[in-house]
Amino acid sequence: MKFSWKVLVLWTVPALVIGFFFWQGAFASVPADMTKNAANTRMTYGRFLEYLDADRVSSVDLYEGGRTAIVEAVDQDIENRIQRWRVDLPVNAPELISKLKEKGISFDAHPMRNDGAIWGLLGNLIFPILLITGLFFLFRRSSNLPGGPGQAMNFGKSKARFQMEAKTGVKFDDVAGIEEAKEELQEVVTFLKQPERFTAVGARIPKGVLLVGPPGTGKTLLAKAIAGEAGVPFFSISGSEFVEMFVGVGASRVRDLFKKAKDNAPCIIFIDEIDAVGRQRGAGIGGGNDEREQTLNQLLTEMDGFEGNTGIIIIAATNRPDVLDSALLRPGRFDRQVTVDAPDIKGRLEILQVHARNKKLDTSVSLDAIARRTPGFTGADLANLLNEAAILTARRRKEAITLREIDDAVDRVVAGMEGTPLVDSKSKRLIAYHEVGHALVGTLLKDHDPVQKVTLIPRGQAQGLTWFTPNEEQGLISRSQLKARITGALGGRAAEEVIFGPAEVTTGAGGDLQQLSGMARQMVTRFGMSDLGPLSLESQQGEVFLGRDWTTRSEYSESIAARIDAQVKAIVEECYETAKKILRENRSVTDRLVDLLIEKETIDGTEFRQIVAEYTDVPEKPQYVPQL
Ligand code: ADP
Ligand code: MG
Ligand code: ZN
């Protein structure tokens, strides 16, 4: 409704104005029957009098109450032919009539054509009338009827822009794996429930809490849980919804939101993606953004405007705290920051337990094993994983979710949809060699993560995949581990080259190369792991337009830049040689593994290692057993 009114204003006003001029042109001219006798040429009144005196006029028709005349006269210029002219007569020319009588010229007066006049009048009026009625309706609709239909000028009324949930129904029990954050926020529940406990001893209740963490870690869920535990209403809006095309709209939305919240206090206001409005003012390419700054200023004003104990607590979420305006983080605003990180293995297990509550799991399924298999998964990923598994179970018409469905769901969440396997062909063999290359190099390098499985079943973009079991618990990665990873990533391309020759290498290694180049560059520029020495040459790169640090990108000279490139190249070349050497020295086991892979489509890590061990020594890798 609102949208269509905007369109109406934007399009009809110019259309009406233009239309008005067209109609003016079409209607307000000569009456219709006068044009029948059309006289294209005009004659001045003086000339007409001359013609009269010279007896050249044969007839005169008067129109418009005697203001215009169509004159028939002999034209001397064109062989004395009879011509018609149009003459504008002076208003007061009564002597003309007597003159015509005197000369015996036939003349006739034509009455004003009323309909023509009416049409002309209407033509003149219809558009202003339309315009005025249009505006009238617009303004009438904009009169303040909160919640009424179609409020044209009320762009700022945030109706339907923020959601209000009287009861979220989420409890702390539903949030798992982020214990520290939960403990921090437990206190907020107490603020809402028993503010007097704090105010009695003169404590100021914090107004704002900033939840910082990657997407899907449960920030929204946590905010809802606070409202649910405290039994207060939950107002939520996304930062991006504040920012509109019209300057001032966002600010008025903020005002509105706070007004509603004050009426419903105690309550929680949740602002998702606050970085959309709260970004550093005056930063980014093209200077500031008026609308966003006004919105942010309004937000700051509102946060200052209510007393700490009105019972409103604002919770905001972001994954880019670094770009936030420092004014937002000042005491009295979002002075509490709570980090919500991706869960560790214990956290994952707890999250799985929460989401397994309402699912039918086969007794063979152990949630520990799933937690172990899913390093890096967020709460949202895990919820999604169990749901995918349940869908697969239903599709396969099974009674309960088994390990197979879980496995398939993990692969699907990580690598995308399963495709149909390639038919046996040269390109399938090449892909098999590529994957076995990754897996073999990974297996034979002491510092590489162990292979979990190799598969030729396409998923997402990939034609084949080699999965490794990462050792997530170790926080620090050594230089030799990084080099082992680069070498393993080169294993695919190395196999293509060693087996099929340099001319036959394919585009299949594109993704690998991109990844390993990034790793090699970081070794040089960020971790000081090259001959350039322990220097940090690049800060972590953020997107240019996102925040304050876009001017401080490269902190080195051009000669250093060239040396960086040389170092990166040296690292990658060394690793590539290692990978090719491993593959050349293990040709027979490679061929056997490829045949087996083409036959079975998937080889799991244990079997893979057993086969390799028949041919050569497989380095012991510390088996990583996560502690639960
Ligand atoms: P965020 O706001 O951090 O992006 P959400 O709170 O929207 O993440 O999480 C999306 C969904 O993922 C939730 O509705 C919930 O089902 C699940 N989820 C995420 N984190 C957790 C968690 N810590 N515990 C339980 N479920 C979670
Ligand atoms: Mg969210
Ligand atoms: Zn590859």
CATH of the domain at 92: 3.30.720.210
Reduced to 3 states (helix: H, G, I; strand: E, B; else coil), residue 98 is helix
Same-domain pairing of 261 and 384: no
| 562/78: higher pLDDT | 562
Residue numbers in the known binding site for Zn(2+) are 434, 438, 512
Token couple for 105: 């010229």
Looking at the fold, whether 235 and 317 belong to one and the same domain comes out as yes
For 478-510, how does the pLDDT look when each residue is reduced to its tens digit (9 = 90+)? 899 999 999 999 999 999 999 999 999 999 899
Q: Which ligand 1 atom minimizes the distance to the CA of 175?
A: 24
From 287, 308, 339, the end of a domain falls on: 339
How far does Cα 197 stand from its chain's mean position? 43
Q: Are residues 395 and 459 in the same domain?
A: no
Q: Rounded to an integer, what distance in angstroms lies between the CA atom of residue 355 and that of residue 292?
A: 38
From the CA of 576, how far away is ligand 3's center (Å)?
A: 13
- Give helix 479-500 / helix 426-444 axis angle, nearest 10°: 150
- Tell me which residue of 383, 226, 399 sits closest to 315, measured CA to CA: 226
152 — pLDDT class (breaks 50, 70, 90): very low
Q: Is residue 600 part of a domain?
A: yes
Q: How many Å lie between the centroid of ligand 3 and the Cα of residue 477?
A: 22
List, in order, residues 6 or more apart from 264 with CB less than 8 Å away.
Answer: 164, 233, 235
Number of domains, the chain? 4
Confidence of residue 408 (pLDDT cuts 50, 70, 90): confident
Is residue 6 classed exposed, middle or buried when 0-12, 13-18 and 19+ CB atoms within 10 A define those classes? middle
Beta strands in 257-358 (DSSP E): 267-272, 312-318, 336-339
Q: What are the pLDDT digits (tens) for 87-144? A: 888 876 777 778 888 878 888 877 765 656 667 777 788 888 888 888 877 776 655 4
The model's pLDDT over 9-61, given as tens digits with 9 standing for 90+, comes to 555 555 555 544 444 434 334 444 444 455 668 888 888 888 888 888 888 88
Q: Domain limits at 182?
A: 161-339
Q: Which ligand is nearest to the CA of 340?
A: 1
CA of 214, closest atom in ligand 1: 3
Residue 384 CA, closest ligand 1 atom number: 12
Work out the number of other CB atoms within 10 angstroms of the CB of residue 443.
Answer: 26
* Ligand nearest to the CA of residue 491, numbered in listed order: 3
Known binding positions: 213-220, 434, 438, 512
- Specify whether the CB–CB gap between 413 and 388 falls below 8 A: yes
H helices then E strands: how many in the chain? Answer: 22, 14
How does the average pLDDT of the chain come out, rounded? 80
pLDDT band at 624 (very low <50, low <70, confident <90, very high): low
Tokens (6 digits) for 176: 């798992």
- 546 Cα to the center of ligand 3, angstroms: 32
φ/ψ of residue 335, rounded to 5: -85, -5
- How far is ligand 2, taken at its centre, from the CA of residue 354, in Å? 18
Q: Are residues 446 and 372 in the same domain?
A: no
Strands 68-75 and 81-88: antiparallel
- Asked whether the predicted pLDDT for residue 6 surpasses 60, the reply is no
Residue 611 in this model has a pLDDT that exceeds 90? yes
- At 607, list the tokens: 């079997």
Determine how β-strand 602-604 pairs with β-strand 208-212. unpaired
φ, ψ for residue 27, nearest 5 deg: -100, -35
Helix intervals (H) in 315-398: 345-356, 367-373, 379-395
The residue with greater pLDDT, 250 or 400, is 400
What CATH number does residue 385 fall under? Answer: 1.10.8.60
Atom of ligand 1 nearest to the CA of 272: 2
577 as an active site residue: the answer is no
Type and span of the H or E element at 252: helix 249-263
Does 621 map to a domain?
Answer: no
Is 619 domain-assigned?
no
Q: 356 and 332 in one domain?
A: no
Q: Determine which one of 435, 472, 585, 614 is catalytic.
A: 435
| 3-state SS track over 257-271 | HHHHHHHCCCEEEEE
Q: Identify which ligand lies nearest to the alpha carbon of 380.
A: 1
Residue with tokens 């009287």: 166
Provide the token pair at 382: 């895990």
Q: Give the pLDDT confidence score for residue 1 in this predicted structure.
A: 43
AA identity, residue 312: I
pLDDT at 613 over 60: yes
The reply to whether 47 falls in a domain is yes
Distance of CA 491 from the midpoint of ligand 3 (Å): 7
Give all strands (DSSP E) within 76-118, no chain letters: 81-88, 106-109
Residue 333 has pLDDT above 80, yes or no: yes
Phi, psi of 455 (to 5 degrees): -145, 150
pTM equals 0.64
Index of the ligand 1 atom closest to the CA of residue 178: 23
305 vs 114 pLDDT, higher one: 305
463: nearest Cα among 452, 451, 454: 454
In which band, very low, low, confident or very high, does the pLDDT at 557 lie, cut at 50, 70 and 90?
Answer: confident
Dihedral sign from CA coordinates of 173, 176, 179, 181: negative
* Final residue in a domain of this structure, among 292, 309, 339: 339
* Separation of CA 607 and ligand 2 centre (Å): 42
Instruction: Please list every protein residue whose CB sits less than 6 Å from any atom of ligand 1.
Output: 175-178, 215-221, 317, 351, 354, 379-380, 383
- For ligand 1, the distance from its centroid to the CA atom of residue 462, given in whole angstroms, is 28
Q: Which of 73-82, 179-188, 379-388, 426-435 shows the lowest mean pLDDT across its residues?
A: 73-82
Q: For position 433, which CATH number holds? A: 1.20.58.760
Numbered residues of the known binding site for ATP: 213-220
Same domain, yes or no, for 438 and 508?
A: yes
Q: In this structure, what CATH number is given to the domain that contains residue 216?
A: 3.40.50.300
The verdict on residue 153 lying in a domain is: no
> 363 and 322: one domain?
no
CA gyration radius, the chain: 41
Specify whether 309 is located in the same domain as 404.
Answer: no
Whether residues 405 and 446 share a domain: the answer is no
User: What is the CA(272)–ligand 2 centre distance, in A?
Assistant: 6
Residue 564 has pLDDT above 80, yes or no: yes
Nearest to 491, CA basis, from 450, 452, 433: 433
Within this chain, do residues 604 and 563 fall inside the same structural domain, yes or no? yes
pLDDT band for position 429 (cuts 50, 70, 90)? very high
Q: What is the DSSP string of 529-552?
A: -STT-S---BPPPPPGGGSGGGG-
Q: Is the pLDDT of residue 287 over 80?
A: no
**Six token digits for residue 146:** 């909160």
Query: Final residue of a domain: which of 95, 112, 129?
Result: 112
Token digits of residue 52: 């009269």
- My answer on whether 380 and 431 are in the same domain is no
Residue 534 falls within a domain, yes or no?
yes
For residue 228, how far is the Cα from the chain centroid?
30
Using H for helix, E for strand and C for coil, what is the string for 468-515?
A: ECCCCCCCCCCHHHHHHHHHHHHHHHHHHHHHHCHHHCCHHHHHHHHH
CB 490 within 8 A of CB 424: no
Pocket test for ligand 1, best of 182, 221, 348 (most atoms within 8 A of CB): 221
Domain for residue 623, yes or no?
Answer: no
In whole angstroms, what is the distance from residue 454 CA to residue 284 CA? 45
Q: How far is the CA of 446 from the centre of ligand 3 (A)?
A: 20
Which ligand approaches the C-alpha of residue 493 most closely?
3
Residues 240 and 283 in one domain: yes
Q: What is the mean pLDDT of residues 247-252?
A: 76
Query: Of all residues in the chain, what percent carry a pLDDT higher than 70?
Result: 81
Whether the ω angle into residue 266 lies within 30 degrees of 0, i.e. cis, is yes
Using the atom order of ligand 1, give the atom closest to the CA of residue 224. 6
- DSSP, collapsed to helix, strand or coil, labels residue 566 as helix
Number of the ligand closest to the Cα of 494: 3
Q: Are 431 and 422 in contact (CB under 8 A)?
A: yes
What end-to-end distance do the CA atoms of the chain give, in Å?
55
Domain assignment present for residue 128? The answer is no
| Atom number, ligand 1, closest to the C-alpha of residue 317 | 2
Lowest-confidence region among 109-113, 218-222, 337-341, 494-498? 109-113
